[in-house]
Structure formats: structure tokens, C-alpha cells
Structure 1
Amino acid sequence: MVYGKSWKIRFYEKKDFKGQAAECVEDCASVYETFKFQEVHSSVVMDGAWVLYEQPNYCGHQYFLERGEYNNYTDWDATSPAVGSFRMITKF
């Protein structure tokens, strides 16, 4: 089953959607290399669904985010703001 037709996610370096923001519509193997973010504290999923990974290259703990607002990394059940990579969920 296809999950969606479009994907868009926005990350913020501080909680409550503050600080620098970065928007993406495709997979990202290294958040730091692409956006220069060390940590992601909040996020808005505008389209589709995404998996965030704690480490670069899609490694480490995984966090599933559906459309919605996540004011703090604890909203996606993470224990730290470390996000090293992410990818779109296209099927399930």
C-alpha cells in the first residue's frame, strides 16, 4: 500500500518551532552534512510520513512521524534530540 503522494517535513533546531529551520522533501543520509544541524528539537510533518534515525546513514533508533506538529523531540518518543538521518515512508 502506498502511504502518500507527496512528502514534506520541516525541522527546527530548538523546541516549540524556534531557531533555524530546514525543510525537506526527500531522504537525507546526513542531517549534519545537509543542514548543519547538530540536533533537532521540534518538527512539523506537512505531508506523508517519515522515519527519523538517531545516527547518519539510516542507523540507530528509529522514530515514526506522521502528519502533525511535534513541539519537542519527546513528542516522537525520543530520549535525545539526536537526528542523524531520515527517509520518507512510501509503502507499508
Structure 2
Amino acid sequence: MGKVYGSGWNLRLYERPDFGGQMVECSVDCPSVYDAYKLREAYSCVVTDGAWVFYDLPSYRGHQYLLERGEYRQHRDWGAPSAGVGSFRRVTEF
């Protein structure tokens, strides 16, 4: 069994770079960002607690990006070539 990564998870997604535009706050896994928040793209993000994996497609498919605590002013800061975020989930073990 792996080690527990953390006991709390929280992030804020923004529809524009540099934390602009609409913001949504999340603390649970999200299989479809569009269905849950009506966002097709997330240009920036702040991870305040825990670590998360972003996927560029819904249902936890596609390219994966690990985001740990910190500020990501644009999607390139987490290594994504585009701002499309289809789904995300919490990292609970490593």
C-alpha cells in the first residue's frame, strides 16, 4: 500500500490566464469539468491543498498533468500545450 499524500484537497480553476475570469473552487474529483462547471478551458489554477492530476479529456482520459500546491498562472506552467481540462482527480496515494 502506498503512502497517503494528504488529508485535504482544494483547488481553484480560472477561465483566463493570471487568475482572471470566472473562478470555480473544487475539493472533490471531477469526471467532466464542462458538465460540472460549464468550463471548456482553464487557463490558470491555484492548488491550495493536496495534489491533483488534470486530464485533457473527460472521464480521466488523455494526457495527464500533476499539479502540486502552488500557483499556475497559465496552462503551460503545468506543462499543458493547451488550456483544455476535461477532468481532474485528487492524488490520494503515491
TM-score, normalised to structure 1's length? 0.99
Equivalence for 1:30? 32
Equivalence for 1:91? 93
Equivalence for 2:83? 81
RMSD value over aligned CA atoms?
Answer: 0.3
1:38 deviates by 1.1
* Structure 2 counterpart of 1:22, one-letter code: V
Equivalence for 2:42? 40
Runs of 4+ with >4 A deviation: none
1:16 deviates by 0.0
% same residue: 57
* Structure 2 counterpart of 1:80, one-letter code: S
TM-score, normalised to structure 2's length? 0.97
Any stretches of 5+ residues in structure 2 without a counterpart? none
Any stretches of 5+ residues in structure 1 without a counterpart? none
